Amino acid sequence: MFKRRTPEAPANPPEVVKPGGKGRPTPKRKEAEKRNRQPITAPSNRKEAYRKVRERQAADRAKARQGMAKGDEKHLLKRDKGPVRKLARDYVDSRRTVGSYLMYAMFAIVLLSMLPIPVARLLVLFAPPLLLFAVFAEGLLLSRGIKRLAAERYPDEDAKGVGLYAAMRAMQIRRLRVPNPQVRIGEKEKV
């Protein structure tokens, strides 16, 4: 009378398929470990291990150097990253600057100082300060120009230090600039 009766279970219960299931059984641990296992290719001695590490590091550095020279954003230093800095590089690289010829001029001045001609010695006396003043004035003009242009094109980006960045890049010899110039001299429409 007070017996609990359970309904009889059907012989073949219907399979319940959960949405998003993987549709296959979970592999045994031994099978998963066997699949993940790879042959060990450890070096035989410490010298060989160090050699392999040095080779790998040299390859990584060469790849980073190439990426930096091309202007690849992933490989650039923190000071060179961002659209504002790229704009500053292109702005400077599209112009001929006095600063990029400063080293050549100073070398010529040193050669002139060795001549026993009085006019050459007078030139050696006044040329360096005039050149440095010209480079300084040019740096100020470039700095103002790039700050104005960056504010127009990228109002939401941080433009802190971009003027000094452009002025310093303008003082470098064009072939030695890193990242390499991406625009030619006179291509101001790309900037």
Q: Is the pLDDT of residue 9 over 70?
A: no
Residue 37 pLDDT class (50, 70, 90 cuts): confident
| Predicted pLDDT of residue 41 | 75
Token pair in block for residue 165? 């960045």
| Distance (Å, whole) CA 61 – CA 64 | 5
> Dihedral sign, CA of 76, 80, 86, 91?
negative
Q: Does the model's pTM come out above 0.85?
A: no
Residue 14 pLDDT class (50, 70, 90 cuts): low
Token pair in block for residue 95? 């112009």
Residue 167 pLDDT class (50, 70, 90 cuts): very high
